[in-house]
Amino acid sequence: MSYLIQTMRWLDRIPLVPLMFVALLLGLAPFQPEPHLWEKLKMLASGTLSRPVDIFDLVLHAAAPALLVLKLAREGWRASQDTTSR
């Protein structure tokens, strides 16, 4: 349980606006012809994501958007806890 609390504190310290910028930048890069994240997700869905470089690319481009989703979920959970504790 202590590890989870430490992880949540680390997540709370990440500033939201820079994280949003990085998530958009990495999630959509390269902009032409198609974002890598979208390409790798299509490969994953079709079952052709097998090369280590492609798996690394998926992890790299999905890390910041996934962290943003966790941060927003954490913020929402904390806001709901604040309103119910009053």
Domain total in the chain: 1
**Pair 14, 70: CB distance under 8 Å:** no
* Structural domain range at position 67: 2-84
- For 21-79, write each residue's pLDDT tens digit: 999 998 888 878 888 888 889 999 999 999 999 899 899 899 999 999 999 998 888 78
pLDDT surpasses 90 at 10: no
Rounded to whole angstroms, the Cα distance separating 57 from 55 reads 5
- Residues 6+ away with beta carbon under 8 Å from 47: none
Task: Please tell me the pTM assigned to this model.
Answer: 0.77
